[in-house]
Chain A
């Protein structure tokens, strides 16, 4: 840390304060952004932090908003000293004071600085938790930040023009809950956003809507509500900033399993462009009816698929792969002898499965076929004595047509 003369330190702190007061009095929310983005490590803020280190009695220079600026300075100073827990604690105090002021301000100009504070609070909490964990203590600040943001949400979610900011806070809350693994807490904010009659969802800012659709889409994937997941993630994909490739990739990571489960395949270009190689063999397995390939693809990427929570979604594709395999057997039989194509011997299926390294006897195959019939992936009935499936002459292998497999 550079050593400053007292006079220079004094000058920097006064300048910061003047910029802050000017921003508030001219209601210029954007100009406050840089002043509050503590974690940005901007040269400007670093120079102010150094000044605070030299000039220890900065509180003396604050003549207004001291409940906010006092803790904010302490937070900035602690951050510079890499004392992350202190930095968070003071930032939360500052945020609390800001909210008190914010309640009294009528217009929405202060949403910009509020968003910065909300974002900083989350990021500083994550850092504080890492520090706590590395000292063997229980990380609890991100959880505390979540509670604080619920309070902010409450301030915004009522009537009035400030409501336009509620979705930004919601999205930051989602990030916290997903990180902490407490996604059930999303429910009450979602209810509040979706049941509000006083505010049209479309009026929220574009970026917040996309983020909201991404997270609520992921929740629908966990709930195995595939039509809803498809709707939300497709909406996120459609409106996402085309330049934001990382976000597009994340949307696709969840949308692809959803689309597969309703019988829609991504083309290879998409998988290559967004480097989603873990799905390539799964898609190939569906195209071919190759049960062995599906199994291998799931094994190969098991760890990452479990982490993102889509493993079980992909595992259920097995029934569709069976359907595809049976259809191929049917077509091959038809080419050989069209009159007998509708009678499929279970023995033939056993043979195909043995080739695919699946050791099943006739009874087990009968069981699988019954499941497919029950799920409307095969239309037909059994002739038990002759161990044959008699396939319907009309549409024996119904397509899903964008609907999930019957459960």
Chain B
């Protein structure tokens, strides 16, 4: 097992039996409508975010920094 697992388990021991992310028990035999398309939360992802836009503040400042440097050379 990777070192992460070790780190995680050491953390747990350090805090004497705590797992912050213990899944809440569903009630026994509890049922809910399982939509074919899933929860709306399954549709909140972007895989095509890597655009060519360089007009945000960060990019504008980046431009100033590197263009200064090319002028010097």
Evaluate contact between A133 and B16: CB separation under 8 angstroms.
yes
Give the complex CA separation of A288 and B45 in angstroms. 17
Closest approach, in angstroms, between the C-beta of B72 and any C-beta of chain A? 9
- Residues from 36 to 52 in B contacting A, C-beta threshold 8 Å: 38-42, 44-47, 49-50, 52
**Most chain A beta-carbon contacts within 10 A, residue among B21, B29, B39:** B21
**Residue A264 is within 8 A (CB to CB) of chain B in the complex:** yes
**Most chain B beta-carbon contacts within 10 A, residue among A181, A253, A270, A336:** A181
Evaluate contact between B17 and A309: CB separation under 8 angstroms.
no
Smallest CB gap from B61: residue in A? A355
**Residue A372 is within 8 A (CB to CB) of chain B in the complex:** no
Evaluate contact between A308 and B21: CB separation under 8 angstroms.
yes
Evaluate contact between A352 and B31: CB separation under 8 angstroms.
no
With A112-B29, A207-B30, A265-B45 in contact, is A328–B16 under 8 Å at CB? Answer: no
Q: Contacts of A184 on B, CB cut-off 8 Å?
A: 1, 5
Give the complex CA separation of A252 and B22 in angstroms. 13
**Most chain B beta-carbon contacts within 10 A, residue among A30, A119, A207:** A207
Q: Contacts of A12 on B, CB cut-off 8 Å?
A: none
**Residue A239 is within 8 A (CB to CB) of chain B in the complex:** yes
Evaluate contact between A288 and B23: CB separation under 8 angstroms.
no
- Residues from 364 to 405 in A contacting B, C-beta threshold 8 Å: 397, 399, 401-402
| Cβ-neighbour of A348 out of B20, B24, B66 (below 8 A) | B66
**Residue A183 is within 8 A (CB to CB) of chain B in the complex:** yes
Evaluate contact between A352 and B66: CB separation under 8 angstroms.
yes
Evaluate contact between B39 and A222: CB separation under 8 angstroms.
no
Smallest CB gap from B57: residue in A? A288
Smallest CB gap from A348: residue in B? B66
**Residue A335 is within 8 A (CB to CB) of chain B in the complex:** yes
| Cβ-neighbour of B56 out of A207, A253, A288, A352 (below 8 A) | A288
Closest approach, in angstroms, between the C-beta of A85 and any C-beta of chain B? 15
| Cβ-neighbour of A332 out of B8, B12, B30, B63 (below 8 A) | B63
Evaluate contact between B5 and A183: CB separation under 8 angstroms.
yes
Count A-side interface residues using an 8 Å CB cutoff. Answer: 90
SS of B interface (majority): loop
Q: Mark contacts of A200-244 with chain B using CB atoms, 8 A cut-off: 1 yes-contact digit, 0 otherwise.
A: 000001110011001100110111100000000010011111111
Evaluate contact between A267 and B45: CB separation under 8 angstroms.
yes
Count B-side interface residues using an 8 Å CB cutoff. Answer: 57
Smallest CB gap from B34: residue in A? A239
Q: Contacts of B70 on A, CB cut-off 8 Å?
A: 345, 348
| Cβ-neighbour of A240 out of B39, B59, B61, B66 (below 8 A) | B39
SS of A interface (majority): helix
Closest approach, in angstroms, between the C-beta of A116 and any C-beta of chain B? 7
Evaluate contact between A263 and B44: CB separation under 8 angstroms.
no
| Cβ-neighbour of A116 out of B28, B49, B52 (below 8 A) | B28
Smallest CB gap from B48: residue in A? A399
Q: Contacts of B24 on A, CB cut-off 8 Å?
A: 244, 246-247
Evaluate contact between A179 and B18: CB separation under 8 angstroms.
yes
Q: Contacts of A30 on B, CB cut-off 8 Å?
A: 29
Evaluate contact between A211 and B23: CB separation under 8 angstroms.
yes
**Residue A129 is within 8 A (CB to CB) of chain B in the complex:** yes
**Residue A6 is within 8 A (CB to CB) of chain B in the complex:** no
Evaluate contact between B28 and A289: CB separation under 8 angstroms.
no
Q: Contacts of A259 on B, CB cut-off 8 Å?
A: 45
**Residue A277 is within 8 A (CB to CB) of chain B in the complex:** no
Give the complex CA separation of A116 and B54 in angstroms. 58
Give the complex CA separation of A342 and B41 in angstroms. 40
Evaluate contact between A224 and B47: CB separation under 8 angstroms.
no
With A247-B23, A329-B62, A351-B65 in contact, is A112–B16 under 8 Å at CB? Answer: no
- Residues from 247 to 283 in A contacting B, C-beta threshold 8 Å: 247-248, 250, 252-254, 259, 263-267, 269-270, 274
Give the complex CA separation of A246 and B22 in angstroms. 10
Evaluate contact between A237 and B41: CB separation under 8 angstroms.
yes
Closest approach, in angstroms, between the C-beta of B27 and any C-beta of chain A? 8
Q: Report which B residues bind A (CB closer than 8 A).
A: 1-5, 7-13, 15-32, 34, 38-42, 44-47, 49-50, 52, 54, 56, 58-59, 61-63, 65-70, 73
Name 6 A/B residue pairs within 8 A (Cβ), A-sorted.
A175-B23, A181-B13, A205-B29, A254-B21, A308-B21, A332-B59
